[in-house]
Structure 1
Amino acid sequence: MYCGWIMTRPTGRLADRRWSALVLAVALLVSGDARAQSTGGGLSNLFGNIFSGSNSASPAQPQTTPGGNGAPPWSGEDGASGHPLMTASAIRQAAANFGNCVAAMWPDAARRNITQENFQRFTAGLEPDLRIMDLMDSQPEFTKSIWDYLDILVNDNRLAKGKEILAKYKAQFDATEKAYGVDRYAIAAIWGIESNYSTQMGDRSVLQSTATLSCIGRRQAYFKDEFLSALEILNRGDLKPEQMRGSWAGAFGPTQFMPTAFKRYAVDADGDGRRDVVDDPADLIASTANNLKKDGWQTGQTWGYEVVVPQNFNYMLADRAKTMTIAQWEHLGINRAGNQPFPHPTEKAYLLAPAGAEGPGFLMLQNFRVIMKYNPAEAYALAIGHFADRLRGGQPFVQPWPRQERELSRAERLELQQLLAQRGFYRGTPDGQLGGQTREALRSFQASIGAPADGFASSDVLERLRGH
């Protein structure tokens, strides 16, 4: 989702909305989230109206984007990924064949029991939204720190609105908890963070977006399934086309279902014959709970605990693959923040240190992994878990974040990866995104020089790489 931008806050009501959305998406980049670059979500709405520009060796004339709702047109430039299907010429060629591409999907639609009448009705007049090509294949210049991200998402206004939602739909939350065993506060947190309680759901046509991505660009097979699934939803009558508006990647509704996720998880909670996850609170709440339940939600269990990590701790143990019981972590000197006891010493958890040795640690349980299936970014899952706790009446995190640290620019992140590769620690392709492979390489480098191997990409560790 996304192109170069500068973190200068705009002003005005619409600007505030875009800023909140922007920061939410940035958290995906903090965690090296794949969903940010592929499937969208409430997070992807942000980019539909915020970002512009892409990377190209030569300038090109901008192209008009049909149905762009006032958004900037396609830049007309090559995509930043360098993928052959993302060159400007390949995009133009595919766009010229768009009508034929959509028509050629009729046999696949028929196999999904979509009537020919509905196929023709729902695809009539579809035109490609080429602006999506910039959003799909752009690169962020800067990222937002996890503490700034949490500050903005878990705020007093959103907490107040969440409590209103919990009270207003108490009956629906009661029924959902009874049926699915999923914590109402987690569902309310997802609703609040994905769409700011239905106020920021995106305004792009899901059909237009998924059709565009089915026929143009580097992920056509993936999005063909999403497009055909969107047609199935309309064919069945669960939703109307005007309800299916959302992100550039096709996520829609208050908790941002992709069409294929809708097919797997949407339920008709109130028995009216339709699975309406957009305008029916009962269906929305139950469908989101069903999603979490089917992904492995553990009833009665929290998502994790804020913990105090002792000095000189071996941060090589801070790895999602290295799970131990709470009692074993305690034996290694890990204590719960605020001097509180752990309620279940036999629970299995892994240690997360999102800001390195200078910030708070967290022991993550099964439900944290479930939230990451909803959106595979640690920053996102941490925001959901923390927001759920605050809605329940919990307090802010106890320990301070290293707010003196600055986030590295994309050029610096690329340089860090390149230096790690030169020294034999990193074997991936430098892309400026600090995912798990980069953090693992960084930890190995830190260990080799006797520094805390926390995998945190600070300006200090970059300087040490430069001088090493």
Structure 2
Amino acid sequence: MPFRTAVKRLASLASATALSIALLIPTGPAQADAGFRNWIASFRATAIQSGVSGAVYDAAFRNIKDPDLEVLEKARFQPEFTAPAWDYFDNRVHEQSIANGQAMARKWKPWLDKIEARFGVDRYILLAIWSMESNYGEMLKRDDVMRNVIRSLATLGYGDKKRSKFARTQLVAALKILQTGDIDESHLQGSWAGAMGHTQFIPTSYQAYAVDFDGNGRRDIWTSVPDALATAANLLKKNGWQAGKTWGYEVSLPDGKMPGGSMSLSKWQSIGVARASGKPFRNGADRAELKLPGGRQGPAFLVTRNFSVIKRYNNADKYAFAVGLLADQIAGYGTLVNDWKRPFTKLSFAEKQELQQRLADHGYYSGNFDGKIGQASKDAIMAYQAKVGLTPDGHPSMEVLKTLRQR
């Protein structure tokens, strides 16, 4: 299962001493580097015992002399995600991600036709996963995001107690990927935790599901979009994707308490649950479960087997909902009938970019004008709200934007 973690804000280490403690090294960076090099030397035997050749190991570590300290920072500072549902979905299902998905559907149609025919996985689900994982490959172009997978995993294996076992397993798998010749060490790039390529597979998942779909002899999820999308489709198929069926339906609920658990769509309908669009359910015998990701006041959904299969990619309901909702909108099925309940007036994607630009003009924000309201944007909004006498809630609202436009 691809490893994918929401990192909202990084904090810097308090001092070199704190870093030394975290690395289990008693003094400064020079000794920390020596300790890391000793770890690399000692791990060589483990890798060889696991089937990695000494030559591959030595080549992979030829230019790696010290740990990636930013990887350790990102690993340590990951606040639990407790934001409301709308906050998560607004940053992922929006006009830009939909338009880009539709453009990619046209651009890659011949390949998507073939992938869909072979694996039976809906193309729009694959496009939505591609958007969620790497913004249709744009993330792979960012030097501030992509890093050497071998160095990242060695850093975690050496310096992060919580992830050490995971990282060492992934490091051996990454070395075996190099050994197959699918990619060379100079191009084995990924996230800080080792997730790789357009569709962000960790090395062990790559080994289990990677596909050479373009037929060039290499399973290249880094530069081959067909390989990356086919690999994602292979994961879903092998985990039980039901071809020709949906992930779920937005529904309207009758008054009163709803039962839990899984029932057939026909049974749900018999107790007053209906599609929010007014259309009939397809495949009434299919079983579904009721989910209310935003509470009873937000949109309600009946989710089917394919929803659970999406969660094999990332085991979180919000992730699976974002993939499903984005896929539906890329396919042209329209927006939600009952939108998320926000305590403010929602901005369009372009208006959120304008908000970031205006906050920067006023000296509150120094990040990218990407329309994604992360922690840096929220901090800037709160600082501005406090300055002008608004409630400092950090919401990207029309009310804040209008105030900025007037100044």
Q: TM-score range by the shorter chain?
A: 0.7 to 0.9
Count of residue pairs brought into register by the alignment: 337
Contact 1:172 1:282 in 2 (8 A): yes
After TM superposition, give the deviation of residue 266 of structure 1 in Å. 0.3
Q: Does 1:61 align with 2:20?
A: no
Question: Does structure 1 residue 118 correspond to structure 2 residue 44?
Answer: no
- Over 3 Å counting, the alpha-carbon distance change for 1:269 and 1:139 in structure 2 is closer
Deviations 1:311-366 (A, max 9, x none): 2224xx44xxx211112222332221122211111111111111111111111111
Write out aligned runs for 1:340-379 (5 A).
340-379=279-318
Corresponding residue for residue 269 of structure 1: 213
Structure 1's 297 and 205: CA in aligned 2 closer, same or farther, altered over 3 A? Answer: same
Change in CA separation of 1:89 and 1:261 when aligned onto 2, cut-off 3 Å: farther
- The Cα offsets for residues 47-91 of structure 1, whole Å up to 9 and x where unpaired, read as 5xx52247xxxxx4247xxxxxxxxxxx7398xxxxxx7889699
- Check 1:100–1:77 CA distance in 2 against 1; reply closer, same or farther (3 A cut): closer
Closer, same or farther: CA 115–402 of 1 in aligned 2, 3 Å: same
Aligned positions of 1:66-465 closer than 5 A: 76=19, 97-126=35-64, 127-140=66-79, 143-201=82-140, 202-217=145-160, 218-314=162-258, 317-318=259-260, 322-404=261-343
CA distance in 2, matches of 1:283, 1:194: 15
| TM-score, L = length of structure 1 | 0.67
CA contact (8 A) 1:91 1:216 kept: no
The runs of 5 or more residues in structure 2 that have no matched partner are 345-407
**8 A Cα contact 2:20 2:32, kept in partner:** no
Deviation at 1:100, TM superposition (A): 2.3
2:10 to 51, 55, 65: 51
Give the secondary structure class of the aligned counterpart of 2:68.
coil
DSSP-derived class of the 2:333 partner: coil
Stretches of structure 1 lacking an aligned partner (at least 5 in a row): 1-34, 55-59, 64-74, 79-84, 406-468
Contact persistence 1:172–1:285 (CA under 8 A):
no
Does the Cα contact within 8 Å between 1:94 and 1:215 map onto a contact in 2?
no
For 1:340 and 1:237, locate their aligned partners in 2 and report how far apart those are by CA, in whole Å.
Answer: 51
Conservation of the 8 A alpha-carbon contact between 2:33 and 2:67: yes
Cα distance change of structure 1 residues 110 and 305 upon mapping to structure 2, 3 Å threshold: same
Distance 1:172-1:142 versus aligned 2 partners, 3 A rule: closer
Q: What percent of counterpart residues are identical?
A: 37
Alpha-carbon spacing, 1:87–1:358, altered in 2? closer, same or farther (3 Å): farther
The one-letter code of the counterpart of 2:90 is: D
Q: Is the 8 A contact 1:308 1:335 kept in 2?
A: yes
The 3 A distance-change label for structure 1 pair 123 and 157 is same
What is the identity, as a one-letter code, of the residue corresponding to 2:46?
Answer: D
Report the CA distance between 1:139 and its aligned residue.
4.6
CA–CA separation in structure 1 for the residues paired with 2:174 and 2:94: 34
Separation in 1, partners of 2:24, 2:272: 53
TM-score, with length taken from structure 2: 0.76
Give me the CA root mean square deviation. Answer: 2.6
Cα pair distance change 1:40/1:89, threshold 3 Å: farther
Letter in 1 for 2:170: E
Which whole-Å CA distance do the structure 2 matches of 1:398 and 1:111 have between them? 57
- Which secondary structure state, in structure 2, belongs to the residue aligned with residue 362 of structure 1? strand
The residue type equivalent to 2:220 in the other structure is D
Is this contact kept in 2: 1:40–1:248, CA < 8 A?
A: no
Which amino acid is 1:103 matched to?
A: A
Contact 1:298–1:366 at 8 Å: present in 2 too?
yes
